[in-house]
Amino acid sequence: MCKDCGCGKDQPHAHEAAHETGQRTVAVRKAVLSKNDQLAERNRAGFAAKGLLVVNVLSSPGSGKTTFLERMATDLRGRVRFGVIVGDLATDLDAERLRKCDVPAVQICTGSTCHLDAEMVAAAMAKLPLDDLDVLVIENVGNLVCPASYDLGEHVRVVLISVTEGEDKPLKYPVIFKTAHVVVVNKMDIAMSAGFDRETALSNIRRVASQGRILEVSARTGQGMDGWYEYLEGYRQRNPT
């Protein structure tokens, strides 16, 4: 095939004729993620119909997303009914951990895909008893880049970092931090031994995510988690379903 015009000829040849046949410009002006965005809106409408508050949790691998959810399960037992959709490239280890805490959890194994999209969430939510839930938490694939671009239909987006990741993380990944409603700094219980420079970290977060609420917690010890529960409760009161 000719590389220049894509015709069937193998030998190089003149292309004036191809141009005369009328190459023309066609306007498209369509968002690349428009299909995902439409599905996300559909998810959001579905969540609204069930009176569900939906939270998308994003972080690097190992920041403590699942531990954060386990802590929620322990603290909110009997007060808030919540379920989890969790994404990883492989295994259902995280969903297993959450089921042990009596949280209905569905694992999405993305294979090689580095993020969750609205379609995967739509398929997973059908497997959860949504009518029996108040809050649905989506634990995204551990990655501070790709998940930022995909609206899943959530109401609240939480970006979580931990004290061992370095104070400059927000500066290195500004795009995802700019989409956060809440930035959670996790593992505060080991901040001292990790040599965590709290002031610098908070100032860096404010620099890239001035729109977001900052919460300092330890999901392991439970320190600071009340601030998160108050945020959730406040959100539900401001947006009654």
Partner 1 sequence: MHEVSLMQETLAIALARAAEERAQRIHRITMRVGPLSGAVPEALEFAFDVVAHGTIAEGARFEIEPTSIICYCPKCALEFTPADLFCECPRCKEPSADVRCGRELELVSLEVS
Residues near partner 1, by CB under 8 A? 3-6, 18, 21-36, 113-115, 117, 145-146, 148-149, 171, 174-176, 178, 206-208, 210-211
Least CB distance to partner 1 at residue 146 (A): 4
Dihedrals phi, psi of 112, to nearest 5 degrees: -110, 5
Tokens 């004729």 label which residue? Answer: 17
Cα dihedral angle (219, 143, 56, 110), rounded to 10 degrees?
-120
Coil, strand, or helix at residue 70? Answer: helix
Specify the residue, 2 or 194, whose C-beta has the smaller distance to partner 1: 2
Q: Which is nearer to partner 1, 64 or 212 (CB)?
A: 212
Q: Tell me the Cα Rg of the chain.
A: 22
Shortest gap between Cβ of 26 and partner 1 (angstroms)?
A: 5
- 8 A C-beta contact, residue 76 and residue 98: no
CB 126 to partner 1: min, Å: 22
Name the 3-class secondary structure at 182.
strand
**In the complex, least distance from residue 117 CB atom to partner 1, rounded to whole angstroms:** 8
Q: Which is nearer to partner 1, 23 or 193 (CB)?
A: 23
**Angle at 118 (CA atoms; ends 106, 68), nearest 5 degrees:** 45
Question: Between residues 24 and 238, which has the closer beta carbon with respect to partner 1?
Answer: 24
